Chain A
Amino acid sequence: MKQFVKNGISYLLLTLGALMLILPFIWMLVTSVQTPAAALAVPPVWLPRSLQWTNYIQAWHAAPFTRYLLNSVLVTGTTTIGQLVTSILAAFAFTHLQFYGRRILFALLISTMMVPGELLLIPNFVTLAHLHWLDTYAALIIPWLTSVFAMFALRQAFAAQPRTRYYAACIDGASNWQYLWQILVPANRTTIAAVAILQTIGAWNAFMWPLIVTNSELLWTLPVGLTAFTSDAGTNYPLLMAATVLVILPLLLVYLLLQKYIITGITKAKLSAGAGRQTPTTSTIKRENII
């Protein structure tokens, strides 16, 4: 009986917490199908009497959202694929190949993960200006074609693979290139997929960089286009909320479909990346337990 009450309280608290977290999403959906007048009514209308689905069509055509969507898809797609390819190649070299300065180079790359990306903003902007790349797709894509974080996560996965399989493949006459793409990559597809999803979310939601390096509307991605749209929408909140729903919808669908998988993937990747930083405290705890 006591257990039953305890569980009941747990569920009650969790439901309250979940409600707080998803309330903005619900409010966004409710507003998005209202008429402008109903949205500004006092007291607010919770259940709109007539559903204004046309808000979505109207919002989509009120600004070049199709163009923004294509830009977002292009930038997210190319940067994610680029990051995967460059990181897979480098992770393979760090785990399977011998070369001078391997440890030093690896340490140098790992230390760059500590640097906040925002510190790089200004010098990178200047570099792009001198290359005359500002306000082009190159500015949106090329600096993001690699990721040390992705390389690190893949290196951890590749390092855990049995060495004997690599030796067997070499004896059978496979080249490094063949072994990498035909055996190692398929064997690590879950890790690679997790990294890919993580990078996709990051690229899709990126805001500050695209805001700064683009001027012309033709190059805007969805988040940049959406903030620009706020001034057009003014106090027409239903239209703005409809546009917001459309902007987050693609990633939301991906998330809902692959939800379980994304959460475990992100946890694994983040915890393994954080493992290095954790060591001092972990060792303290181990010491404690021995005492």
Chain B
Amino acid sequence: MINAKPTLRSTLHALLYLAPLLLITATFTIWPVINSFLMSCYTKYNYFTDHVGALGGADFVYLWHDPDFHLAVRNTLILVGGVVPLTVLLALGAALLLNRINWLAGFFQALYFLPFVTSTVALALVWNWIFHRDNGLLNLLLSWLGIAPIDWLNDPRYSLLALIIVCIWRGLGFSVILFLAGLNNIDQRYYQAASIDGASSGQILRQITLPLLTPTTVLITINAIIANFKVFDQVYALFHGSAGPANADLTMMYYLYQKFYIEHQYPVAAASGVILFGLIVSLTALSFWYFHRRSLRLGGGR
């Protein structure tokens, strides 16, 4: 029972405990990963007979020449580029404010987190109603500022902005909570030392809080990048099962869904999934590198 070293017997015993997890993970996670890379190289694939014509790069060539795919990549990059920096900045601001106060802090936290626990689809439907041209809440609020009604969901110039608003709104609370946890992890002695040295609150923020918060910022940024690269539910519900006016809200995930579920072009869909995966991995690596370099620079400047 208490083994210092594994034996054949103890391995068999452990396998009994591991079997359920391994069986399901192998079937529905590990094998599909391999399979989707293989599938992206299938040509002349017949789904009904599972017949593969040959292996090759034809699906990637197809994507290279498909204007819809270009549009999907462009839209997704705009979406990520619009949502992630704003989410991180707004969440950081809210977390810093929440960290200052005691009274009602828990109440505010609960409110900020609310969008994250409720169904994306349900709330995208509410947003669909808020964006309504004639009777929507948003145009009403804008009319008080003297702005003429905008047809948020039918005008290709604004519909991607509408999606960006929904995505920021949904992800903000989660980032606020993570920032708060990061702020709580900072050793209070730094602040005591700084106040003894007579540092101003601006100096404390720039020299202590932000540098020490970097690991949390990296985590939140990466989380937001990954989440917003995979946006699908919001698009589906916001535009009632379409990709917006003139495909203005066609995200990469929605493209994958169209190719796969509507057009039954499995290999092409699998290839677009592989590219999506590659983009996520490289952007994650890039943000690691950026923060890493920046924290080194901050350290060297002292």
List A residues at the B interface (Cβ < 8 Å).
Answer: 6-7, 10-11, 13-14, 17-18, 20-25, 27-28, 31, 39-44, 85-87, 89-90, 92-93, 97-100, 102, 105, 108-109, 112, 114-116, 118-127, 129-130, 142-143, 145-146, 148, 151, 166-167, 170, 175-176, 201, 204-205, 207-208, 211-212, 222-223, 226-227, 230-231, 237, 240-241, 244, 247-248, 251-252, 255-256, 259-260, 262-263, 266-267, 270-271, 274, 277-278, 280-282, 284-285, 287-288, 291
Contact = CB atoms under 8 A, between A and B. Distances in A.
A14 B108 contact: yes
Given A89-B21, A205-B119, A27 B137 contact: yes
Nearest to B128: A230
Nearest to B213: A285
18 contacts: A7-B100, A21-B112, A21-B169, A21-B172, A98-B7, A98-B10, A124-B32, A127-B28, A142-B24, A166-B2, A170-B1, A207-B232, A226-B119, A226-B121, A244-B122, A247-B119, A255-B117, A281-B291
The secondary-structure label for the interface of chain A is helix
B169 A90 contact: no
A117 to B, nearest CB: 8
B137 A23 contact: yes
Contacts of B98: 14
Contact of B277 (A115, A148, A278): A115
Interface in B268-302: 269-270, 273-274, 276-277, 280-281, 288, 291-292, 295-296, 298-299, 302
Contacts of B17: 89-90, 92-93, 97, 176
B65 interface: no
B266 A126 contact: yes
A285 B32 contact: no
B256 interface: yes
A277 B219 CA distance: 8
The secondary-structure label for the interface of chain B is helix
Give me the 4 closest cross-chain CB pairs, A-B, nearest first. A288-B299, A123-B32, A99-B14, A93-B17
Given A127-B28, A170-B2, A263-B177, A278 B219 contact: yes
Nearest to A26: B137
A21 B114 contact: yes
B71 interface: no
B78 interface: no
Interface in B91-145: 93-94, 97-98, 100-101, 104, 106, 108-115, 117-123, 125-127, 129-130, 132, 134-135, 137, 140
B240 interface: yes
Contacts, number: 306
Q: B6, B14, B90, B137: which has the most chain A beta carbons within 10 Å?
A: B14
B94 A17 contact: yes
Contacts of A20: 169
B89 interface: no
Contacts of A142: 24, 28
B233 A208 contact: yes
B134 A126 contact: no
A10 B100 contact: yes
Contact of A291 (B101, B126, B266, B299): B299
Contacts of A252: 117-118
Contacts of B199: none
A248 B21 CA distance: 31
Interface stretch (B33-41, B79-87, B156-164): B33-41
